[in-house]
Chain A
Amino acid sequence: MKILVPVKRVLDYNVKARVKADGSGMDLANVKMAMNPFDEIAVEEAVRLKEAGIATEVVAVSCGAAVCAETLRAAMAIGADRGILVDCGELSDAELQPLAVAKLLKALCDTEAPQLVICGKQAIDDDANQTGQMLAALMGWPQAPFASKLSLDGKLATVTREIDGGLETLEMTLPAVVTTDLRLNEPRYATLPNIMKAKKKPLETVKPTDLRVDVAPRLAILKVAEPSKRSAGVLVPDVATLVDKLKNEAKVI
């Protein structure tokens, strides 16, 4: 069974995001980039399924600038077998939008015919939380977003999902799209030998035109602004003062 795992290159989660002074977007010059954390969980899950003898091949896909090849190498260092870079040229991260990515992934699913696609539930840059569900729609496949547990038995997938009130367990026939939540697994650190090995794994580059997908943005970002900052509060010396302030100053209790 083949598993396809889309991975996105995003601002490292430890780096504070900054808005460009002219309000045209985010300042991503000379900042540390990394694989979207939810996508790391997706790669880890796919690799574990391969190690368990359930999956036979794990294919990582990244859509974006040529530099996304680094993200594919990172996925291969975790254990993905090969990578496909969909080189979107000069299109910025904000211009390459979820519907276009879902269409690129659909085109790859049509040729690669994976039985399972595991996506991160959302990218921590645009926080859109759309691509996996959109891909499932375009393929006419079942979807299981926000998975905290995944088990496969032949053509049947059983997925436990994190929902607002607790947990929900779904059963579906493969092929399907699953998106990862935080508790699905804890991704491993890539070891140096595996990082070296990843450099020799096959990486194919295709263009959106090869896949006959129009990736032009559908949404125009008119401006990006910093949210208003909270004014600094006060430190109180003890519980009695805190209670007094809550009662008499803020009047909330």
Chain B
Amino acid sequence: MAVLVIAEHDNQSIKTATLNAVTAAQAVGADIHVLVTGSGCSIAAQAAAAIGAVAKVLVCDAAQYEAQTAENVAELVRALAADYSHVFAAATSAGKNMLPRVAALLDVAQISDIVAVESADTFVRPIYAGNALATVKSTERVKVVTVRTAAFDPAPLGGSAPIEAVPAAKDLGLTRVVGRELTKSERPELGAAKIIVSGGRGLGNGENYRTLLEPLADKLGAALGASRAAVDAGFVPNDYQVGQTGKIVAPQVYIAIGISGAIQHLAGMKDSRLIVAINKDPEAPIFQVADYGLVADLFAAVPELTASL
């Protein structure tokens, strides 16, 4: 039996997070089918068909899926799941919303946020904010799994899988999306960025965050992130948050500026390839995970760093 991967898309393209999930699904060792659900999503379905590892794309194009609400998509996946041994999705906010609903409808346990596939039924996932790794075995007839995107490389493109239309499930009409307020940015997405510049409470306010960190991020072509403290204090929007309950990232370089390094924050970035920390407090826990630490006043050090790049 095959693995069904639920795609995330914006009708035009497939999100990188789905490519990460496809790579995880490949480790199961079965055919991979990708489900694209939406309204007017045929271009996204073609994009899914171009993923090298994909054997078939299922597309369900109907008005009721325009907002891709969890209730309606889960109902559709429930109907399709009988033919699959595994259902995978990226552990993004959309995947975390929808997939547990699928698991409960199928009366199976879900395995959340896996970082490794040991075998077709055994997976590794972090618990306790990444302070422990649990190896978990499922004997459920369908393994329902969300994938930590930072733990798997994106699957390469270069395929041309067949696309098959599947009928829509019942429109449950349970929720209505009345607004989406998306942060507009020319910068790379946090989850896909090679370099992340991240700021914390030490920046003092949102204006300092912008005037100090944006020029540095621009020079490096980096994404911008933040600690919970900086988000709670209103320096930046919620979707900047890196941490146990925010975004989990693992870029090539993570530059933590004015971030002390609470365990909840470290849980979101400690798998970064290289960590740089700038903080005036030499005792800050961030220095215990930093490859390069600079004990300095960030208000002097950051402009100097930006100028010397």
Please list the residues of chain A having a beta carbon within 8 angstroms of any beta carbon in chain B: 11, 13, 16-19, 26, 38, 97-99, 102, 121-122, 124-138, 141-146, 148, 158, 161-173, 181-183, 218-227, 230, 232-236, 238-240, 242-243, 245-246, 250, 252-253
> A127-B112, A133-B104, A137-B101 in contact; A239/B305 too (CB < 8 A)?
yes
Is the Cβ of A218 less than 8 Å from the Cβ of B109? yes
- 22 of the cross-chain contacts (CB-CB < 8 Å) are A13-B264, A19-B132, A97-B109, A124-B129, A125-B127, A133-B96, A158-B178, A167-B237, A170-B175, A171-B176, A172-B175, A219-B136, A220-B136, A224-B133, A226-B132, A233-B290, A235-B287, A239-B304, A242-B305, A246-B253, A250-B292, A253-B309
A-facing residues in B124-153 (Cβ within 8 Å): 126-140
Contact in complex: B232, A233 (CB < 8 Å): no
**Is B217 on the interface with A (CB-CB < 8 A)?**
no
- Report B's interface with A, CB cutoff 8 A: 69-71, 74, 92-94, 96-105, 107-113, 122, 126-140, 174-183, 191, 195, 220, 228, 231-232, 237-239, 244-245, 247, 252-253, 263-264, 270, 273-276, 282, 287-296, 301, 304-305, 308-309
Whether A144 and B175, one on each chain, are in contact in the complex, defined by CB atoms closer than 8 angstroms, is yes
CB distance from A42 to the nearest CB of B (A): 14
Of the residues B132, B191, B275, B276, contact of A242 by C-beta under 8 Å: B276
**With A16-B263, A134-B101, A234-B292: A164-B94 Cβ-Cβ less than 8 Å:** yes
User: For A230, what are the chain B residues with a Cβ–Cβ distance below 8 Å?
Assistant: 270, 275, 288-289, 291
Compute how far the CA of A167 lies from the CA of B223 in the bound complex, rounded to whole angstroms: 19
Whole-angstrom CA separation of A223 from B136 in the bound complex = 7
A127/B127 in contact, CB under 8 A: yes
The 7 A-B residue pairs whose C-beta atoms are closest, nearest first, are A134-B104, A137-B104, A17-B128, A133-B100, A218-B109, A142-B174, A233-B291
* A133 and B128 form a contact (CB under 8 A): no
In the complex, the answer to whether B177 meets A170 with C-beta atoms within 8 Å is yes
**Chain B nearest CB: distance from A156 CB in Å?**
10
Cβ contact within 8 Å between A218 and B292: no
What is the minimal beta-carbon distance from B272 to any residue of chain A, in angstroms?
9
Return chain A residues, CB-CB under 8 Å to B292: 233-234, 236, 242, 245-246, 250
From the candidates A232, A233, A243, name the one contacting B305 in the complex (CB within 8 A). A243
Q: Tell me the bound Cα distance from A166 to B276 in angstroms.
A: 27
For A224, give its contact among B99, B134, B140, B183 (CB under 8 Å): B134
Q: A165-B180, A219-B138, A230-B291 are in contact. List 20 more A-B contacts (CB 8 A).
A: A98-B109, A99-B110, A125-B128, A130-B110, A131-B100, A132-B100, A135-B104, A164-B92, A169-B178, A183-B231, A219-B136, A220-B137, A221-B134, A224-B132, A224-B135, A226-B132, A243-B308, A243-B309, A252-B252, A253-B253
